[in-house]
C-alpha cells in the first residue's frame, strides 16, 4: 500500500524551474545599488531582496541581482525576472508580471503562485525605491497614517521574517506637520532595535512631504 502511494508522488516542478532553481542567474547582494527592494510574503513568511543599477540618462536597468530566502519557485522566478529586467527601462521592467515569469518557467503549481508574486514585487519595490530617491514619483499623495502604514509593510521584523505591521510591532503612528512619529513595541536595547529603526527612517524619510521621522521604542 505504502509503496503504491510513493510511486504516485511526482515532482511538481517543470524542468525549467528546476534548472533555474539549481543554477539561478543574478544571485547575490549588490554593493551600493541605485534601488533596493525587500519584500516578504504574508502567505509563507519568506523574503526576497532585489537590487538594481540604473543608467541615469536612459533609465535602463544595467545590472540586477536578487537574494531569496524563499522556495524553489521563488528562486526560479527571481532568476527569470532578473534576466528579463536586465537591459529594460524602468517603465518596461515595471510591466513584468508573475504570469509572464511563470509562463517562461513552463508553469508553476497554483499553490506556488504567491512565491512568484513575491519575486516580482521585490523587483517593483526596487524600481519604486529608485524612483523615490531620484524624485521620479509623480503622484504627490500627502503622507497620512495610512500611507505610513503601507510603507512600513516593507520593513521586516527579523524576529519572525514577516513585516512589522503584520506582526503588530507598531503600536502607534502619528503624522503632524511633516513629522512622522512611530512607536515600536520593542525596548531600545533590543538586538534588532537599531536595524529596525534605520529601516523605518529610510522608508519614511524619502516621502516627499516628510520633514522628520521619530522612532520611539517602548522602553
- Residue numbers annotated as active site: 44, 115
Binding of ligand FES by 113 (CB under 6 A): no
Binding of ligand FES by 74 (CB under 6 A): yes
Q: Which of 18, 27, 44, 60 binds ligand FES (CB under 6 A)?
A: 44
Binding of ligand FES by 102 (CB under 6 A): no
On the 0-12 / 13-18 / 19+ scale of CB atoms within 10 A, 29 is exposed
Nearest approach, Cβ of residue 46 and ligand FES (Å): 3
> Alpha-carbon distance 158 to 112, whole Å?
23
Binding of ligand FES by 41 (CB under 6 A): yes
Find the binding residues for ligand FES in span 156-195 (CB under 6 A).
Answer: none
6 φ, ψ to 5°?
-60, -40
> Which triple of cell numbers denotes residue 156?
521586516
HSE on the CB side for 27, CA within 13 Å? 14
41: alpha, beta or left? (left if phi > 0; alpha if psi -120 to 50): beta
Q: Which of 60, 71, 137, 210 binds ligand FES (CB under 6 A)?
A: 71
Residues binding ligand FES (CB under 6 A): 41, 44, 46, 70-71, 73-74, 112, 115, 118
Amino acid at each position: 500500500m505504502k509503496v503504491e502511494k510513493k510511486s504516485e508522488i511526482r515532482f511538481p516542478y517543470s524542468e525549467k524551474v528546476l534548472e533555474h532553481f539549481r543554477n539561478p542567474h543574478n544571485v547575490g547582494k549588490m554593493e551600493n545599488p541605485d534601488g533596493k527592494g525587500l519584500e516578504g510574503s504574508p502567505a509563507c513568511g519568506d523574503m526576497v531582496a532585489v537590487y538594481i543599477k540604473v543608467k541615469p540618462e536612459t533609465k535602463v536597468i544595467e545590472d540586477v541581482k536578487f537574494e531569496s530566502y524563499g522556495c524553489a519557485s521563488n528562486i526560479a522566478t527571481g532568476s527569470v525576472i532578473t534576466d528579463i529586467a536586465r537591459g529594460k527601462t524602468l517603465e518596461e521592467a515595471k510591466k513584468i508580471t508573475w504570469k509572464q515569469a511563470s509562463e517562461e518557467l513552463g508553469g508553476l503549481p497554483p499553490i506556488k503562485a504567491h512565491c512568484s508574486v513575491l519575486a516580482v514585487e521585490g523587483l517593483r519595490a526596487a524600481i519604486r525605491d529608485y524612483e523615490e530617491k531620484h524624485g521620479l514619483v509623480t503622484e504627490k499623495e500627502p503622507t497620512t497614517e495610512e500611507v505610513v502604514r503601507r510603507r512600513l509593510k516593507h520593513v521586516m521584523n527579523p524576529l519572525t521574517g514577516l513585516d512589522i505591521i503584520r506582526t503588530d510591532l507598531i503600536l502607534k503612528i502619528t503624522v503632524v506637520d511633516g513629522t512622522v512619529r512611530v512607536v515600536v513595541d520593542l525596548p531600545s536595547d533590543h538586538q534588532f532595535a537599531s536595524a529596525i529603526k534605520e529601516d523605518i527612517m529610510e522608508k519614511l524619510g524619502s516621502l516627499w512631504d516628510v520633514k522628520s521621522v521619530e522612532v520611539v521604542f517602548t522602553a
